[in-house]
Structure 1
Amino acid sequence: MKNSNGPLEGAVVAVAGAAGPAGRAALLRLAEAGATVVGADADPERLAAAVDAARYAHGGATVTGDTVDLLDLDATREWADKTEKEFGRIDGLVHLVGGWRGSPSFAETNLSDWDLLEKLLIRTVQHTSLAFHDGLLRSDRGRYLLISAAGASAPTAGNAAYAASKAAAEAWTLALADAFRKAGGEAGPGTAAAILVVKALVHDAMRAERPNAKFAGFTDVSELADAIAGVWDRPAGELNGQRLWMTPRP
């Protein structure tokens, strides 16, 4: 059943990286909360499956999918413009594009890992934030949400490329938050950019593959999806520029 009274009823929320486990959970939760949800991913087959699952789980929900190359700024802008034109508004961008590469030690870091992670974890944040900036400002409840990792604040030797990429993405998102703050003037921001911080994510397939693993401190993708939907429950001024910790601070 769709929520007819919640803050997401009538909202239009875009999800970047919608085909992965976290993306699928977010599509389901946002649709359940009453939002029109527009997913994007580079993998059309997995995206179609994710969209269908959310659509079927919540009869009557509007859930669509667009195959978008988020490494192409023009294509990302076209996606943002198309979404706002088609649905009349844009109230959120949830950034769930992920990726991980690590090494046994700092000295064994392979810089090709950085080349990949810079694209997945930084460039896609840059492109989505630039593409959706104006539309989110036009909303009365605009939210840009980055999902980050605790390792950005406490890098380990074997995760230099990953932690540095996440830290750069966080800094970029906080700069976006400052832009929203300045746009709000004396009244304060009406649009917010925030960061949800996890240690790592876990989903049912991971548990099935490793039934004896404890996944200590990991956040289930369904719990993350609840937290994503929950950002619309909080005032923009309280949310903007904040790191929202879902794991103990390192």
Structure 2
Amino acid sequence: MTAAGRTVLLAGATSPSGLTLARALLAAGARVIAVGRDQEKIDALAAAAHPAADRAGTGSGTGSIRVERCSLTNEAEVAALADRLAADGEHVDGLVPLVGGWRGGGGLAGQTEEDYRALEQSFTAVRVTSRAFDADLRASDAGRFAIVSSTAVARPLAGGANYAAVKAASETWTRAVAQGFAKAARDAGEPLRAAAVVLRVRSLDDVVDALAARVVALWDEDAAALNDRIVDVA
């Protein structure tokens, strides 16, 4: 199996890392659904990621891209997005939440509630999107759910306590998704086809190309070997 022909939803795709991942998936022949809450930004991402002639899957023979506007922390909007895609015959094989950012510094005393609530949105997006597309990922013959976490989870610092706590919560949720995939396969008496994985980075800016390559490679590995893994991306 490869990423070619797979439909991968990038949730919060308008960051520089979202563009890099979109380009890598398109080059691998995947169908990318780029989701963000700012229409101008996701339109710009599509234009930068892929030539206009190829957005419908024609032209160079690489993948295709579709953009969708949605607030990824709003459960109703994400559910509506899932329904809209299903109505159009779009069945998601991969989900990568990219809502994030960093706030911190100032030691433990500098960890404000305002910063925590801002960072918490990334965890909310992980929870909301994974629930909305859980059925799609289980139904796929190669469903993949991957989050981008941080090595700070393994070694949290006082000045980044809010950030590390949110990332740790997201990792715990992702491992629960992995257990759900495994249990569903066992209960159905079928081989495991879906996998949930945590991709840890130290500094995203330094490894964004390696991260994109690792996401594309998720479809090169057997689900049973990949599910519930924590992978350090260097």
Shared fold (TM-score, shorter chain, > 0.5): yes
- Give the aligned partner of residue 53 of structure 1: 48
- For residues 64-213 of structure 1, the aligned pairs below 5 Å read 64-119=66-121, 121-185=122-186, 187-202=190-205
Gaps of 5+ in 1: 1-5, 203-217
Q: Structure 1 residues 89 and 47 mapped into 2: Cα distance closer, same or farther (>3 Å)?
A: same
Deviations 1:204-224 (A, max 9, x none): xxxxxxxxxxxxxx31x2221
Matched to 1:19, the amino acid is T
- 3-state SS of paired residue (1:244): strand
Residues in 2 aligned to 1:85 and 1:233: alpha-carbon distance in whole angstroms: 29
Conserved in 2, the CA contact under 8 Å of 1:84 and 1:135?
Answer: no
Conserved in 2, the CA contact under 8 Å of 1:102 and 1:162?
Answer: yes
TM-score (norm 2): 0.91
- 1:238 aligned to 2:225? yes
Residues in 2 aligned to 1:19 and 1:161: alpha-carbon distance in whole angstroms: 23
Matched to 1:134, the amino acid is A
- 3-state SS of paired residue (1:107): helix
Deviations 1:44-88 (A, max 9, x none): 212111111222196353201111101111111221232233244
- Give the aligned partner of residue 34 of structure 1: 29
Q: Over aligned residue pairs, what C-alpha RMSD do you find?
A: 1.5
- 3-state SS of paired residue (1:23): helix
User: Percent identity among equivalent residues?
Assistant: 35
Matched to 1:189, the amino acid is L
- 3-state SS of paired residue (1:13): strand
Q: Which of 8, 15, 18 is matched with 1:13 structurally?
A: 8
- 3-state SS of paired residue (1:38): strand
Q: Following superposition, which runs of at least 4 residues in structure 1 exceed 6 angstroms of deviation?
A: none
Conserved in 2, the CA contact under 8 Å of 1:96 and 1:147?
Answer: yes
Deviations 1:15-47 (A, max 9, x none): 011110110011111111111110101222121
- Give the aligned partner of residue 63 of structure 1: 65
TM-score (norm 1): 0.86
Conserved in 1, the CA contact under 8 Å of 2:3 and 2:217?
Answer: no
- 1:22 aligned to 2:9? no
Conserved in 1, the CA contact under 8 Å of 2:32 and 2:64?
Answer: yes
Gaps of 5+ in 2: 55-59
- Give the aligned partner of residue 57 of structure 2: none
